[in-house]
Amino acid sequence: MAEAIADQEGLNPTSIKYFVPWLAKDLAQAGSSSWLLVRDQGRGRVAQWPGWCWPGIEAPAHHQKAIDKVIAALPNGVNALSVDGQGIGIYWQEPDSLDLIDEIEAKIKIIYLSIIEL
């Protein structure tokens, strides 16, 4: 699934959030965590991954293990990862070519499966 994320005025899309919603059977494993990890913009706590930070609540340790599996291989246009009550999302500034959509989807699924298998 995907949704446009607009700028602060709500006028111009700044990125697209691609996400995989939680399946009902996986909600217990997913837990009630909500977190956002963003490319470092000089705000928030520095994360263990160079160039990334936590603007709010940090992901639990088992979620961070899942992030560890994909973060180094994310395309440059990815500017955030998130988990919330809806599911797992990757925020991406789409380039002219959409060739990387399959790669983005694969990374989301790796995080999803890593979280629910713990």
Q: What is the pLDDT of residues 8-63, one digit of tens each?
A: 444 444 678 888 888 887 777 666 778 999 987 777 899 999 999 999 999 988 88
> Helices 101-116 and 61-68, interaxial angle, to 10°?
150
E strands in the chain: 2-6, 13-21, 35-39, 45-46, 52-54, 78-83, 87-92
pLDDT attached to residue 9: 44
- Residue 55, C-beta contacts closer than 8 angstroms, at least 6 positions apart: 36, 38, 43, 44
What pLDDT score does 47 carry?
94
How many angstroms separate the CA atoms of 12 and 70, rounded? 29
Residue 6 pLDDT grade (very low, low, confident, very high; cuts 50, 70, 90)? very low
Max avg pLDDT among 77-81, 108-112, 113-117: 77-81
* Token pair belonging to 23: 């399946």
Is this prediction's pTM over 0.85?
no
Q: Give φ, ψ of 63 to 5 degrees.
A: -70, -35
